Amino acid sequence: MYFLIAEMESQLPATSKPSNEEETCPKTPETYRKIISTLPREDGWKAHGDLCLYQNFWCYSYGIEGAMFAQDHYNAQPTDIFLCSFPKSGTTWLKALTFSVVTRTHFDNSTTPLLLKGPHNCLPLLEIDFCRKGIKPEPGSLPLVASHLPYASLPKSINDSGCKIVYICREPKDAFVSMWHYTRKLPHGVQEPMSLEEAFELFCKGVSDFGPYWDHVLGFWKASLERPEKILFLKYEDMMRETLLYVKRMAEFMGFPFSLEEENKGKVRSIVEFCSFENLSNLEINKSGKYAPHIPVENKTFFRKGKVGDWKNYLTREMAEHLDEITEQKLGRFDLSFDDV
Ligand code: PAP
């Protein structure tokens, strides 16, 4: 463990560590932007501009500004439940499932707000909505908040107040391929979308939105081992294989367990079917609606194939072996691995 952290730190440019200015500046949007303007940058993915290195993760500047704001101002409530993920790891699905579980006594499949809003519009994203739209957690409101922030960069109040966290991760080759497709669909202005090979190289170096992928996963994995009662670590592939089982486990963990009566009446199955890729991706709102976190994104961009192992259609054997080697090197010693998909 110490070797890995030391190794990561030695690879980081000195400026990525908090500067004196960062520690002493009064916190206003201008000072956040000033700090961001000094951060190390990489171009390449170009979905929302350059990626900047902040607190050892890469992110677009608007995400970093949101992270800084949330770290300074987010006042987590003990009842908040955080849905955390590396991008393209099953966030949309997790949002739909948890939203359905938590609101099931208010709505059924014919009345759920998921029919009128995409999953991303049904619950806030910490680093975007809280900062940009001023959404504040209120007593009695939906306890679900999503975030792509690494574990170490979550606002301190989340751990201090004992919130629960559900983390979903995905096999890295599939997460990479999904991210590459997603990024190509975003508006690029005059830029050409990046080739798969270029994106692959950056991803392997750890340079991707909220990357390095492996650090993100590892942060939550270790935390889930230390505090299993507070952090539930899920894998997309397991969820795909045994959705019913994991939805029940997740509901119980969140404090919204299904009763035997609900199970017998098919409530779990009905939520699972409603939130399936086939059903969600065919809802009109997800075919024609928009999500507008920073630049408008069509809801359909969040639904591509929803399959395990789609990387086989895009990566060469050498690329796959290379990514597998990095994964084994970074995660193997922590007993974290993925099914051979
Ligand atoms: P985000 O991080 O931008 O929110 P996220 O939802 O995590 O994206 O990932 C999108 C992936 O989840 C897509 O995978 P693909 O590119 O390999 O197809 C998307 O298709 C998949 N996905 C979306 N909804 C579902 C669902 N209901 N069931 C399974 N997979 C889904």
185 within ligand 1 shell (Cβ under 6 A): no
Q: b/e for 109-134, b at 16 or more Cβ within 10 A? A: eeebbbeebbbbbbbbbbbbbbbbee
For ligand 1, atom 5, the nearest C-alpha belongs to 88
Shortest CA distance to 208 belongs to which of 89, 324, 126?
A: 89
Domain that holds residue 306: 77-334
**Residue-averaged pLDDT of the chain:** 88
**pLDDT at residue 297 in the model:** 85
Q: Would residue 31 count as lying in a domain?
A: no
| Confidence band for 1, pLDDT divided at 50, 70 and 90 | very low
Instruction: Count how many domains the chain has.
Output: 1
Q: Which amino acid is at 123?
A: L
Q: Would residue 65 count as lying in a domain?
A: no
Q: Would residue 52 count as lying in a domain?
A: no
d(CA 286, CA 52): 31
267: pLDDT strictly greater than 90: yes
Instruction: Tell me the pTM.
Output: 0.90
302 within ligand 1 shell (Cβ under 6 A): yes
What is the distance in A from the centroid of ligand 1 to the CA of 93? 6
Share of the chain above pLDDT 70, in %: 87
Label the pairing between strands 144-147 and 164-169.
unpaired
**pLDDT at residue 19 in the model:** 39
142: pLDDT strictly greater than 50: yes
Q: Is 322 noted as a catalytic residue in this protein? A: no
CATH number at residue 212: 3.40.50.300
Q: Would residue 314 count as lying in a domain?
A: yes
Question: Is the previous residue joined to 87 through a cis bond, with omega within 30 degrees of 0?
Answer: no
Query: In sequence order, which residues have a C-beta less than 8 Å from that of residue 152 and are 6 or more positions away?
Result: 55, 56, 219
Least confident stretch, 180-184, 185-189, 207-211, 267-271 = 185-189
What is the distance in A from the centroid of ligand 1 to the CA of 296? 18
189: pLDDT strictly greater than 70: no
For ligand 1, atom 30, the nearest C-alpha belongs to 306
Q: Would residue 5 count as lying in a domain?
A: no
The tally of CA atoms less than 13 A away on the side-chain side of residue 310 is 15
**pLDDT at residue 168 in the model:** 98
| Confidence band for 192, pLDDT divided at 50, 70 and 90 | confident
d(CA 174, CA 176): 5
Counting from 1 in the atom list of ligand 1, the atom nearest the Cα of 240 is 29
**pLDDT at residue 47 in the model:** 67
Question: Which candidate in 48, 106, 120, 148 is catalytic?
Answer: 148
- pLDDT tens digits, 60-113: 998 999 999 999 989 898 999 999 999 999 999 999 999 999 999 999 999 999
What is the distance in A from the centroid of ligand 1 to the CA of 75? 29
Q: Would residue 302 count as lying in a domain?
A: yes
Q: Would residue 14 count as lying in a domain?
A: no
**pLDDT at residue 56 in the model:** 97
107 within ligand 1 shell (Cβ under 6 A): no
What is the distance in A from the centroid of ligand 1 to the CA of 182? 10
230 within ligand 1 shell (Cβ under 6 A): no
What is the distance in A from the centroid of ligand 1 to the CA of 216? 18
Contacts of the segment 95-98: beta carbons below 8 A, 24+ positions apart: 95/119, 95/120, 95/122, 95/123, 95/144, 95/146, 96/122, 96/274, 96/275, 96/280, 97/247, 97/250, 97/271, 97/272, 97/275, 98/144, 98/166, 98/250, 98/254
Q: Would residue 236 count as lying in a domain?
A: yes
